[in-house]
Amino acid sequence: MTGKSRKPMKFKNRSVIGLVEKVMMIGPEKERKVTARIDTGADICSMDTKLAKRLNLGPVERLKRIKSAHGIKKRPVVRGRVEIAKRRFKKVRFTLADRKHLRYKVLIGKNILKKGFLIDPNKEM
């Protein structure tokens, strides 16, 4: 590297988030703040079935075939609203799964991440 200092990269219209983020899940009448896992390997977001029920999300649009470490399953898909990094998204698709045994009740996938997010693994909530 020469003696010149490098200019920092500018990320116009991009939000930098970490691997774990606080998000606001918004239903028709209720909303709930939860800690979500950011998953760049997931095509679509996922949420716990009980959380979707508490938020009164639905109806189920369709079933989506999902490949996971547990095999291939068909999961129901609902639409919901979510706020992440002070940005709100409407009509976001979420697959529903029993996540009671998992630390994070919401998983944010590429269907949201492609809308202007950069992931910094060193960033903390």
9 within a domain of the structure (yes/no): no
What digits encode the pLDDT tens for the residues 32-51?
999 999 999 999 999 999 99
102 within a domain of the structure (yes/no): yes
7 within a domain of the structure (yes/no): no
68 within a domain of the structure (yes/no): yes
Burial 1-20, CB ≥16 within 10 A → b, else e: eeeeeeeeeeeeeeeebebe
Query: What residues make up the domain containing 74?
Result: 15-119
What digits encode the pLDDT tens for the residues 88-120?
999 999 999 999 999 999 999 999 999 999 999
φ, ψ at 92 (rounded to 5°): -85, 135
Model confidence at 7, in pLDDT bands (50, 70, 90)? low
Given a cut of 80, is residue 121 above it in pLDDT? yes
1 within a domain of the structure (yes/no): no
pLDDT above 70 as % of the chain: 91
Q: How many domains does the chain have?
A: 1
96 within a domain of the structure (yes/no): yes
103 within a domain of the structure (yes/no): yes
5 within a domain of the structure (yes/no): no
Residue 89's domain is classified under what CATH number? 2.40.70.10
pTM, rounded to two decimals? 0.86
Q: How much is the mean pLDDT over the chain?
A: 91
